[in-house]
Structure 1
């Protein structure tokens, strides 16, 4: 037994067995290294939390092996509590010994290394035996060592059960009562004989009781003789009357209620009358109140390297210097108790508040590595998510700043509006019965983000298969298309130990951004999407659009994998996380802006090359600056009228439109698809007609909104003082004088362009040149796209057409007639 003292973090190392070289599995792919298998199985151990178990925080696959963090009657009871909890999770310790029964500073037992047997597949993935011979049960010793590569064994022995740990506990308790010296110099066979006959040795029990003068000793020896070596289970032992005087001292452990469940969640949120009294004690160790996984995450951000610590100290178990976390000791106490209201906090500011304000303006990759900044963001999101969905709008607000990587999985779930008992729904789905899609899923999974150690592990493949199959089974009107596995990958990675949440997020994400993309016949949906994307290229970058159209490099050749997988097929996970942090704040049209932003990063190379070179360029996509891509996507989105990306095959309006992000976001507007339709809305357009138009259409209501025709205030203007939008009426002078949009300019079609499509010089076109770069809305009697096409040909950006023409506006009473000249 060893006390933990004030240590909060421990570690141990071991080597995984090496696999033979140049050997492939039945699928023709290289065998998965045992270290990857162990890494996958380890993940579930992070969720096994109990007062009697040392919590696992992380595992690192290093060059030199695996790294993990991590009154007698009362001891017996507490050890049994830990063992019983493990058994409920289908695990046994198998390595129970005096080395692995630790005690914290309060004297409470915590079992260490309890996951070693599980993560190594019952010892199959390592070359050393799991457990200490002095404590192993007779049947474990009898079966000897086993390794899958050992040809002397016909089959693997059955895994150890709970009674194996009970035997080890008995030996441990006997040593505590009798002293280790009694058994220390006895070899294994004689030791076993001694223990097996212990139940008949009443004299030993009597002598020990008299020596210790303690009734508890007699009780413990009774447990050893009657129950332990007769092989009762931990649950049976805990129910024995011998523990009646001990069990009343302990409160039964209850696992905290998860965020998404049918159970009620509550928290003590009462604040003192004087809020400034909350953090008066400057010596208070607020950091110690945070969860161990948070502290470990911050230590890693601060430069903590567990393998380096172990190497420097030349020991297996060490206590990494948590106290060296930079600046965290100077963080003001109020930072640990943020107010969850829109108003500014009245608490005194941290000494480093100015530095934090400056940090927000730094690149995202720097913010994610700033320890103090991440501490404050993690605490804030933790409070907001615990108040979800009540504080949903504040989650949206803070997510616009950034999302801490440690809480990204739950934050995404909040942004997607996940609620309810997701576990019960997931468990109700049949994920075992064979279906025709199984074969394709089996082929796709070993090729999906397999550079990642977690997703490439056998456990990762199993979870991949279950989540994908659950989605296919629960969406009978849709089918599995290649690419669905890539869509699943970010959600599975972030929720590796919560398949139900990964499934729920994926099920909410697809209808929002990929509505009907997974129909059996999705050609009409894809073609409409690509056509709108082509119009968006022309709208934002006409020069690039003209060049790509001239060489025949159309979006069909490169953009289908982009949008079918929302870029997860073309970018690694770490880039997808940053991209989707913003994508989830936007509506279904935001992916168009991402696609245009990617093209603009490649703009110079695309303009300088022909068709063949562009094909080669996209066969191996160059490095894309994701932060720049996100930043430019937001700018493009701001300049895109809502109705310009209207799609007939997009998700239909919801019964109750949730415009939460529209109310809280500064740069996102509500999804046009969700807005109630009126006589001024865009009309559905046949695909062939849509393809015939280079520029997008916008609705009459969009034009009215952008020109603020229904408001008393001035027209919307840019920082330069010019209107953001200019309406160009191409009707004849006579028709224009009978009624037109206030503020529009009249450029009759016949006077604007020459025979070769060049823009003629005249006062009206001179005015148009002054508004280059603003949104240009072409208005005519009917839909005439030729004028807009000519503008695009001469590289005018942001050109669109009024859907329905001037006739749409006549019933509104917004057309003006110029006063007669006197």
Structure 2
């Protein structure tokens, strides 16, 4: 995206054709409004960046099929040259022609033609270089089929375009609708435009359209159209005095037969531009973030480095991209419709003035004629940046060029730094609407992402604070570790050959997040289909399950114009959080996942767990869509964005914490209802506070020992840095990813699914217990043994072996409650009060049950859960695993 610099933001509006309300498509669903179709096609225009084209920025959809387009704008145009009434020099004409052809050739390369070429759509920047405006109108309207007005201006349309006329997609009377215009039609328009520049005035401007058509048809039998036009308008002497190159260019452009007329690309290579083409360097698009090309391959530094540091009016905002400036303009209170209303482009009428026309018996008519406001008014309104600049005037210049190293903390701070520091503590939704705060975050993330993957750790660090919405797509890709030439990989996948899954994909897409205008557009459906099919084809060991479309939606929305990145993010996300969920037979994976989730509910909220188990409301009834789609089937996209901003910072166990936090928000209603009421509650899930959900999920995650969520069907672990931890977490819990270390005897052992389901509380590994109790010894660690400080320990080890075994050796700081004192030989409860009284002072800590017999430990833990003790878990392998560590202690002898 090119910087704003000397350009401005402009907006223009038009209406799409209205569709009948009582007509449905072949799939039985209502027809997609034409404005939605246009909105979907427009997105491609945002990707076209060229020095000769005005950059498209955004499109918004209003009432009654109104569309407002925002694009780069310049005040001066070739129309101003016509107003001066003086011919333009031949050299300047050739220069303008070459620059226009550069833009047209670039468009043709991307499958588009201008069609609306005219003097007021050929803008000039401050250096006098050409910038083509409104070049995407023909493309976004499906060659004019989705609007009620013709695309282009009769004075400049090529003969073959006028001969075809215009049509609408709803006109069923046309068996063979006209073919779209080709690149050569723009060459004719260019010829008329250059002719006017040469003679210094407009031609064919005030001729009736029927007369215009007759005149054009008559030109078809003329040998020299340029001479005929000159004679018709009394400027033959001017044309005769033109240099040979300029005259030859006009004749080549104004060739009547399209078959003999050159294309823009052919004209650029013509000899008429021999003295002009050498002045221009061929345009090369900068390498993207994910590609095999060097991003700085064409970077050139001036001989005098001080040239880079020149202060040019302190307009730092002008150096930011057009998309950033527009985003900040909207945050600062910018309103497109209000701007157009103030300029008189949008005019509201009272309802009485919009009554239909009716005719009395005597032939007298009353009411409105055709509403001219629904026709195209191509006036472009310049958007004022004054309000935005006033909002950002307190932001220091250093904020636009932040240092990325540790020294940045020693830099002098701006007068608004205290406000920015305070803004971090505000709710996320407020921060995302704060203009000044978003500027700082966008600039910082932009620099970090440009340095990716070198600055990957800092991206992680800043993402813990928040992610600016404008850069969320790239930030997610960085958090997921996407690298390499993703486009080449995506292009190599066969997305066209029919496969059995096609039918199911076709059925699912029209039901996936269709409230969103972008995803509901035909272009959105096409991209959905391609990305999903690419994933299915490239993962032959996996299958398409319903819900995969919902999982794809956030990535496609954020990377709508980059299918390869959407595919790459999805391909990185699924193995991390949904490993083997999409196997043909995934029952064992799902059942293990739900069982661990059930244990997490018991670990964090035993009262709720007991109630749900009593009424038989198990996770199988409600949680499968949650985890199979990572909550995208449950929440709208705007909530998913905030949820996944945090999810991507955690490991594969974090979704358990999200699920528990959702249940806790519904806790009161769940505890007060039975099975049927709970089923109804989850069939239409109440409003969930996502910010609270994220906050509580992080807290639950910090309190969950990392081995408590162990799953044997999880993805094989990889070594990671501390960057995957969440925020400020207690020092006694590690929130980083499981390390890819050699397996030791202290790790958790896999359990059969039946054994796992039989246990209410989760197990933790001996390795976790040693870390949580801050134990160490010469056999495993270099530091001496630490004993928990009184009143500060966050974990309690409960040894339920007999007293004799306990006195032979136990974990430092543990307490002894013999299993036989609470349970009889057959496992029946005999002394509940004594057990609960002993542990009453330790409620709220993580309680680890330790025994030589795992069955006894599981029974004891289940009892504590039944009496609503939270954070109860069992040491996997029991005391047998701890004996080899050398960390056990014995009581001091009594004197």
TM-score w.r.t. the length of structure 2 is: 0.87
Identify if the C-alpha distance between structure 1 residues 164 and 648 changes in structure 2 by more than 3 Å, giving closer, same or farther.
same
Counterpart for residue 630 of structure 1: 694
Q: Which runs of 5+ in 2 are unaligned?
A: 72-91, 346-378, 777-782
1:391-438, CA deviations, whole angstroms, 9 ceiling, x for partnerless residues? 000000000010000000000000000000100000000000000000
Conserved 8 A contact 1:83-1:92: yes
Confirm whether residue 24 of structure 1 aligns to residue 24 of structure 2: yes
CA distance in 1, matches of 2:213, 2:849: 95
Conserved 8 A contact 1:650-1:673: no
**More displaced, 131-140 or 660-669?**
660-669
Using the TM superposition, give the Cα deviation of residue 89 of structure 1 relative to its aligned residue in structure 2, in angstroms.
0.5
CA distance in 2, matches of 1:793, 1:219: 94
Identify if the C-alpha distance between structure 1 residues 716 and 639 changes in structure 2 by more than 3 Å, giving closer, same or farther.
farther
1:735-792, CA deviations, whole angstroms, 9 ceiling, x for partnerless residues? 1000000010111123246998587444x75452111001000001121211000100
Q: 1:521 aligns with which of 585, 592, 596?
A: 585
SS at match of 2:131: strand
Q: 2:188 aligns with which of 131, 152, 167?
A: 167
Counterpart for residue 601 of structure 2: 537
Using the TM superposition, give the Cα deviation of residue 211 of structure 1 relative to its aligned residue in structure 2, in angstroms.
4.3
Counterpart for residue 709 of structure 2: 645
Q: 2:720 aligns with which of 637, 658, 661?
A: 658
Using the TM superposition, give the Cα deviation of residue 246 of structure 1 relative to its aligned residue in structure 2, in angstroms.
1.5
Counterpart for residue 383 of structure 1: 447
CA distance in 2, matches of 1:136, 1:715: 87
SS at match of 1:566: coil
Conserved 8 A contact 2:650-2:724: no
CA distance in 1, matches of 2:47, 2:663: 42
Q: Which runs of 5+ in 1 are unaligned?
A: none
Q: CA RMSD in A?
A: 2.6
1:116-135 matched pairs, under 5 angstroms: 116-135=137-156
CA distance in 1, matches of 2:305, 2:722: 33
1:410-468, CA deviations, whole angstroms, 9 ceiling, x for partnerless residues? 00000000000100000000000000000000000000000000000000000000000
Counterpart for residue 248 of structure 2: 222
Confirm whether residue 776 of structure 1 aligns to residue 847 of structure 2: yes
CA distance in 2, matches of 1:467, 1:100: 36
SS at match of 2:798: strand
SS at match of 1:159: coil
CA distance in 2, matches of 1:258, 1:778: 54
**More displaced, 444-453 or 240-249?**
240-249
1:160-309 matched pairs, under 5 angstroms: 160-186=181-207, 187-192=211-216, 197=222, 199=224, 211=238, 218-229=244-255, 230-266=260-296, 281=311, 283-309=313-339
Using the TM superposition, give the Cα deviation of residue 279 of structure 1 relative to its aligned residue in structure 2, in angstroms.
7.9
Conserved 8 A contact 1:36-1:456: yes
CA distance in 2, matches of 1:740, 1:270: 68
1:141-181, CA deviations, whole angstroms, 9 ceiling, x for partnerless residues? 11112123324421211111100111111111111112335
Conserved 8 A contact 1:198-1:225: no
Conserved 8 A contact 1:652-1:673: no
Using the TM superposition, give the Cα deviation of residue 348 of structure 1 relative to its aligned residue in structure 2, in angstroms.
2.0
Confirm whether residue 54 of structure 1 aligns to residue 79 of structure 2: no
Counterpart for residue 14 of structure 1: 14
Using the TM superposition, give the Cα deviation of residue 515 of structure 1 relative to its aligned residue in structure 2, in angstroms.
0.3
Using the TM superposition, give the Cα deviation of residue 271 of structure 1 relative to its aligned residue in structure 2, in angstroms.
13
Counterpart for residue 819 of structure 2: 749
Identify if the C-alpha distance between structure 1 residues 202 and 449 changes in structure 2 by more than 3 Å, giving closer, same or farther.
closer
SS at match of 2:393: helix
Using the TM superposition, give the Cα deviation of residue 191 of structure 1 relative to its aligned residue in structure 2, in angstroms.
4.1
CA distance in 1, matches of 2:401, 2:303: 12
1:634-656, CA deviations, whole angstroms, 9 ceiling, x for partnerless residues? 000000000000001111234xx
CA distance in 1, matches of 2:264, 2:302: 42
SS at match of 2:383: coil
Counterpart for residue 38 of structure 1: 38
1:84-483 matched pairs, under 5 angstroms: 84-186=105-207, 187-192=211-216, 197=222, 199=224, 211=238, 218-229=244-255, 230-266=260-296, 281=311, 283-315=313-345, 316-325=379-388, 326-483=390-547
Confirm whether residue 701 of structure 1 aligns to residue 701 of structure 2: no
**More displaced, 666-675 or 766-775?**
666-675
Using the TM superposition, give the Cα deviation of residue 677 of structure 1 relative to its aligned residue in structure 2, in angstroms.
1.9
Identify if the C-alpha distance between structure 1 residues 549 and 530 changes in structure 2 by more than 3 Å, giving closer, same or farther.
same
